[in-house]
Amino acid sequence: MEFRQLQYFIEVAKKQHVTQAAEELHVSQSAVSRQIHQLEEELGVKLFIQQGRNLSLTPVGRMFLERAEAVMTDLHRAVHAVQEFMDPELGEVRIGFPHSLGVNMVPRIISMFRQEHPNVRFRFKQGKYNSLIQAVLSGEVDLAFISPCPQKHDQLSGEVLLTEELFATLPPNHILAGERAIKLEQLKNEPFVLFGEGYSLRPIVWEACRRAGFTPKISFEGEETDTIRGLVAAGMGVSLLPELALKDCSGLQPVKVKIADQKVTRTIGIIRRREEKLPTVAEVFRRFLMSYFN
């Protein structure tokens, strides 16, 4: 069965006349008749019956028309999707990011990009480190912001966008809150508020504490940056948070203090499937990111 046969069949069904259908399709009447005949032979049924000078659909012809029109609609949608795929000013960027970047960084970047490309749409997925990697590998998203950015991966290509420092985050009334800088070991007896298992900041904080000679005592665990920050501000413990997580916030706020005895950082990068061409609009967005952070 060919696309042309379905096209001719639908047009004849609409016009109820071979000659008028041929004129609409800009082909000969014999070409239309031949394609309809071949389609009926392939299906093994009569799709039309002659009624005077017109053609009417048989019951099975009416059923087939409904399905054929659905097929053609899906095909036109697919063609349109491919056209959008290739058009840098249309289409959709599917992007993933961790919760810690969803408050400020990602919305700010998207807003700036859409000033230059107002017709581009975005589909978002938030998740933990491993779920974001899986979303890229499975094709659920085209790109994902991730922290830390994997440097070696057989199936992923990663590019570091920025490296940011983590600060000791203390309640406002903490005895060390007025210090410009502290050693991390000064917090060894403090209760810590940390992200739960599976969040990339947790092992960074854990390793920094290990280098300082202690294992953090966890008092609370959270899944959102706002939660961690709020619990610290409320006096539930201390934490280490990146600078981005401490910007542009309102309400009850913790105090950030520089860590003097070691440099605790995290990388933020963008990942995609290795050796696979991105949709044009996603590639435009990726280049925008590299330019923005450079």
Domain 3-86 has CATH 3.30.200.20: no
Q: How do the domains of the chain map onto residue ranges?
A: 3-86, 92-144+274-293, 162-267
Cα separation, 292 vs 270, whole angstroms: 13
Does 162-267 match 92-144+274-293 at the fold level? yes
Instruction: Of 109, 150, 100, 107, give the one whose Cα is nearest residue 130.
Output: 150
pLDDT per residue, tens digit, the chain (294 aa), is 788 888 899 989 988 988 898 888 889 989 989 999 999 999 999 999 988 888 989 999 999 999 998 888 888 778 766 766 666 677 789 999 988 787 788 999 999 999 999 989 899 999 888 999 999 998 899 999 998 888 778 899 999 999 999 999 999 999 999 999 999 999 999 999 999 888 888 999 999 999 999 999 999 998 888 889 999 999 999 999 998 888 755 567 899 999 999 999 999 999 999 988 888 889 999 999 999 998
Q: What distances in angstroms separate CA 60 from CA 43, 126, 151, 245, one per listed residue? A: 10, 48, 60, 63
Phi, psi of 189 (to 5 degrees): -100, 5
Six-digit token pair at 260?
């003097």
- Closest of 97, 68, 56 to residue 9, by C-alpha: 68
Q: Please, are residues 72 and 10 in contact by the beta-carbon 8 Å criterion?
A: yes
Considering the segment(s) 162-267 as one domain, its CATH architecture is 3-Layer(aba) Sandwich (3.40)
Look up the CATH superfamily of 92-144+274-293.
Periplasmic binding protein-like II (3.40.190.10)
Alpha helices in the chain (DSSP H): 3-15, 18-25, 29-43, 59-86, 105-116, 129-138, 201-211, 225-233, 280-293
The confidence score (pLDDT) of residue 181 equals: 96
CA distance 244 to 101: 8
In angstroms, rounded to a whole number, what is the distance separating the alpha carbons of residues 163 and 242?
A: 10
